[in-house]
Every structure is written in C-alpha cells, then in structure tokens.
C-alpha cells in the first residue's frame, strides 16, 4: 500500500530502530496527578499519612469522563499538593513515599486467562473492568479508554452539535503500531514484545466495541514480523504504514487512509464513522489488565533527543520525568526544552519534575542551542504551507487572519478543522509561528461563541 506517497504533509527522518523497553526501578517518591487525561479531576481517596499498597485506589470520580488513579508504589502518602500538568493546568497530586516493599493490594478482579475468555465475557463487564483500571489512551490529552470505547452518550444532542448526519455502528478496530510523532516511539519499541497480552487485548477491544474487522497498522521498515505472525493466526488484517510521512499516522488521517471514511471534524471522532482506533501500547495494557486482574502501574516511555542514550523505558507511573532523563544518561549541559510528546505536536514543559502519567508517551530533550526560533516576518505567500497542510486548509490565509484578530473570518475559512499538526510552521520559510496563530485563533473563536 503506497497511499503515503500521495500524502501531503511533510517527510521526516525515519526513527532509529528501537530496542525493547528497559525496566526502570521504582523511584523514591511518586507523584500521582488526579487527572492524567482529558476530563474531570478525580477526588482523592487517601489522606496524608495513610499507608497505601500498590494498586490501591487513591483517586476516583463519579464523572463518566474520568479515570481512577491507583498507587504505583507501596508506602506512605506524604502530602497532596498542587502541580501543573504538561498542558499547563493545575491539578492536585498525591505524593507517595516508597517503602520499597512493593506490596500489592489483595486482588479484587478475577483474571481472564485467554482470548476465549475475553470473547465470552459480556462487553459491559469488560468495559467496567477497563473503567476500574483507570486506563487512559496513551497520547497527549488522551481520553480514558472506556470513554473512547463507549457509544456516544446522548445521540440526539451530540449529533446536533457536531452536525454529523448519521453515526454508524462500530465495525472496525484499528490497532496502530506506528508512532505518529517520531522519534518518540513507544509503540515501535514494543513491536517485538507482543504475545498473549495483545491477543487478549485485541479480542476484548473488539468485543467491547463490536468491531468485526481488525486492522493492524504496522510501521513500514520496523521489525513487525512478530505482529504479522500473530495477525496471521487471529485473522487480523495488516497494513503497512510509512513512518516518515508525517502526520499520516495520526488518528483521523489514518482512519481515512485505511478505511476510506472521513472522520467529521472538528467535533467528530473515529467512532462516528464506525472505527475504534487504539495505539498498540494501549491495546497491550488492556490485555495486561484483563489477564492479571490488576491495574497497570507502569508506562512505556521514550526519552529521545539530546540525551546520552536515547531509549525507551518501562517506568512506574508518577516517576518525575527528570529521573527518567537521568536514567537515559542525562540531558545536555544547557537544557533548552523538554517536550512531552514528539517534536511536531508535543507540549514543552517548564518543570522537569513533572511526573510520567498515563497520557504521556515520552519526551524529547533539546539543548538551548537547538531550540527553534520563530520570526516576526510577513507571509511571503509562497504556498509551501498550502502544499503541506494534510487537511487541505490554506494556512497562510488563516495565519494572517488570526494575526490581525479576524477570528470569525478565519473560522469561516475552516480554522476549526485545523488539527494543529504543525506542518505549515515546519515548512514556512518566513518562520512564522503558524501553529501559535492558529491555536490562539481557535481559542478566541471558542471564547467568542461562549458569550
């Protein structure tokens, strides 16, 4: 399948081959934000001074769009403090001091041994298990998995708001083993590590969503033989997806490339066109939760960029990112940026103590000398951004409109359909801060509509 040759976007260097994740010992203290996803903040279920065991729920919420938070080390709750998450929001955070004993709470859920078990269980029961386990989609601003998998809550008003004509029942599950934003590549490093977990995970995801067809998106040029062999056994389809065409592997565009269905934007999601899309690492986590009956307490986390040994770790949730960077040999002497997510879409954080959470997939470290600078230069109308925009917008025009505060006019030119992929800024010879303009414009449009 050579779909990517026709793809607009930009071409990035192929990510280096990734070794399987290395286990990182649990840190002295973990910091567990009570919101690790898009949605509501969980309420703390523990007080400072409480003794907790691994897997014990420390944060939970009645809200649907929220995820439970479990302790990832055993020890004493030291305090509950306010921290700032990568997106810049304040969030209460439970700090637990590790006693090193690694004691688990008594198992509550029974284990499902095999794919057959997953296939036989009722979807609602599986969904409940995922909700209790607090899994979150492995993606910056990812949503809790159970939200991603449930049918829309209130179909009528939802349809009205999004303007989507019909919602199709889900019939396709895409497991995406391609990392959209290399060189942060947690999926790539898990490629060879698949086994039982993936079989159970995929079976459960298919069962919950009702998908009949399973498609594995495999990275072209990666070592995907283990996955391909499994696909053969389980009658999953496979598709080879370019790793160098960016942003080909982001959700909506991948759905459209693999199924030919266009996800309605800006408010729609793959579910609306009958597709559920899961990153490989999320599918693996689902399998682990169901097989062990325990919540997942660690995270595959890539450290890329200017560190001594860029590599992928398996990190306890709540470990400060600083510690993981140290484990990778330490960052540059004059640090510039630490970016949660990849170079094109990631969020730069200001505090290296920000913890690893369920929705972080890795960091990119840049030294001060290599931080990009944008310019206050007029658009020279060269059209490179238009040739690169994967959703066919005219970024040059949108950028000018947003720069001159003509937000509604920009919205009429489909500003809201921008996926903030950053291709326009990447190619712009005038080095205009395109994504900054567009994001700012979007916020202003939303604020204007609220009034």
Partner 1 sequence: MNENLLTVSTSPHKLGGMSVRSMYLEYIIALAPALLVGLYYFGFPALITVLLTVASAAVSEFVASLIKKKPSNLSNLHVLCMGLMLGMILPPGAPWWLPIIGGALTVLLGMSIFGGLGAYPMNPVLVAWVALYISWPESMNAFLEPQALGTGDEWSEAETLLMQLKGDVSTFEMVELGALWLGNVAGFIGSTSAWALLVGGVYLLIRRIIPWQIPVGAVLGAIGMALLAAYTDPSILELGYEEFGANMNIVWFHLGAGGFMIAAFFLGPEPVTSPVTPWGTFLFGVGIGLMTIIVRTWGGLVDGAFYGVLLMNAVTPLLDRIRPKVIGKVVSGA
Binding residues for [4Fe-4S] cluster: 379, 382, 385, 389, 418, 421, 424, 428
Q: State yes or no: residue 187 binds partner 1 (CB under 8 A).
A: no
Q: Which of 127, 423, 433, 442 is the binder for ligand SF4 (CB under 6 A)?
A: 423
207-117-202-109 Cα dihedral, nearest 10 degrees: 100
Six-digit token string for 212: 């009949």
**Residues 296-335, interacting with partner 1 (CB under 8 A):** 334-335
Burial class from Cβ neighbours inside 10 Å (0-12, 13-18, 19+) for residue 402 reads buried
Using CB under 8 A as the binding rule, whether residue 191 contacts partner 1 is answered as no
**Nearest distance from residue 404's CB to partner 1, in Å?**
13
- For ligand SF4, what does the binding mask look like between residues 370 and 399, x meaning CB under 6 A? ---------xxxxxxx--xx-x-x-xx--x
Q: Which does 327 bind (CB under 5 to 8 A by kind): ligand SF4, partner 1, none?
A: none
- Strand bridging mode 75-84 / 51-52: antiparallel
Query: Binding to partner 1 (CB under 8 A): which residues in 146-165?
Result: 162-165
**Own/partner long-range contacts of 195-199 (Cβ < 8 Å, ≥24 apart):** 196/114, 196/287, 196/291, 197/284, 197/287, 197/288, 197/291, 198/227, 198/230, 198/280, 198/283, 198/284, 198/287, 199/114, 199/115, 199/230, 199/234, 199/287
Q: Tell me 126's DSSP state.
A: H
- 377 near partner 1, judged by CB under 8 A: yes
Bind-site residues: 379, 382, 385, 389, 418, 421, 424, 428
The CB-of-276 to ligand SF4 minimum distance in angstroms stands at 23
Whether the CA torsion 367, 368, 370, 371 is positive or negative: it is positive
Could you say whether residue 442 binds ligand SF4 (CB under 6 A)?
A: no
Which range in 149-157, 192-200, 275-283, 434-442 contacts ligand SF4 by CB under 6 A? Answer: 434-442
* Residue whose tokens read 């960077």: 325
Task: Report angle CA 136, 141, 145 to the nearest 5 degrees.
Answer: 25
Binding mask 336-375 for ligand SF4 (x = CB under 6 A): ----------------------------------------
User: 116 or 387, CB closer to partner 1?
Assistant: 387
| Residue 343 binds which of ligand SF4, partner 1, none (CB < 5-8 A, kind-dependent) | partner 1
């Amino acid at each position: 399948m050579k779909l990517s040759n026709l793809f607009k976007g930009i071409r990035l260097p192929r990510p280096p081959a990734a070794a399987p994740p290395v286990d990182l010992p649990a840190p002295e203290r973990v910091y567990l934000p009570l919101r690790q996803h898009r949605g509501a903040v969980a309420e703390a279920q523990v007080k400072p001074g409480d003794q907790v065991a691994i897997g014990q729920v420390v944060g939970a919420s009645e809200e649907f769009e929220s995820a439970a938070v479990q302790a990832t080390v055993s020890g004493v709750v030291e305090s509950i403090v306010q921290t700032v998450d990568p997106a810049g929001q304040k969030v209460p955070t439970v700090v637990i001091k590790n006693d090193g004993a690694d004691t688990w709470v008594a198992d509550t859920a029974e284990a499902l041994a095999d794919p057959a078990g997953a296939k036989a269980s009722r979807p609602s029961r599986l969904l409940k298990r995922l909700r209790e386990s607090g899994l979150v989609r492995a993606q910056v601003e990812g949503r809790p998995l159970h939200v991603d998998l449930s049918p829309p809550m209130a179909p009528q008003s939802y349809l009205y708001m999004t303007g989507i004509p019909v919602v199709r029942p889900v019939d396709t599950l895409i497991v995406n083993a391609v990392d959209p934003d290399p060189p942060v590549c947690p999926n790539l490093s898990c490629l060879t590590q698949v086994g039982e977990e993936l079989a159970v995970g995929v079976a459960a995801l298919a069962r919950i969503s009702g998908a009949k067809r399973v498609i594995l998106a495999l990275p072209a040029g990666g070592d995907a033989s283990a996955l391909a062999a499994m696909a053969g056994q389980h009658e999953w389809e496979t598709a080879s997806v370019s790793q160098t065409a960016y942003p080909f592997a982001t959700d909506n565009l991948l759905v459209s490339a693999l199924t030919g269905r266009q996800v309605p934007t800006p408010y729609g999601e793959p579910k609306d066109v009958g597709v559920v899309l899961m990153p490989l690492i999320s599918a693996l986590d689902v399998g682990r939760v169901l097989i062990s009956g325990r919540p997942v307490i660690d995270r595959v986390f890539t450290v890329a960029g200017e560190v001594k040994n860029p590599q992928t770790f398996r990190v306890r949730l709540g470990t400060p990112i600083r510690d993981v960077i140290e484990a990778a040999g330490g960052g540059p002497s004059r640090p510039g940026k630490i970016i949660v997510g990849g170079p094109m879409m990631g969020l730069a954080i200001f505090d290296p103590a920000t913890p690893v959470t369920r929705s972080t997939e890795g960091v990119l470290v840049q030294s001060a000398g290599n931080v990009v600078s944008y310019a206050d230069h007029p658009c020279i109308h060269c059209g490179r951004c238009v040739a690169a925009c994967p959703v066919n917008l005219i970024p040059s025009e949108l950028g000018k409109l947003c720069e001159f505060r003509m937000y509604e006019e920009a919205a009429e030119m489909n500003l809201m359909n921008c996926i903030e992929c950053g291709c326009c800024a990447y190619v712009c010879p005038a080095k205009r801060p395109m994504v900054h303009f567009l994001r700012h414009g979007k916020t202003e449009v939303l604020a204007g509509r609220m009034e």
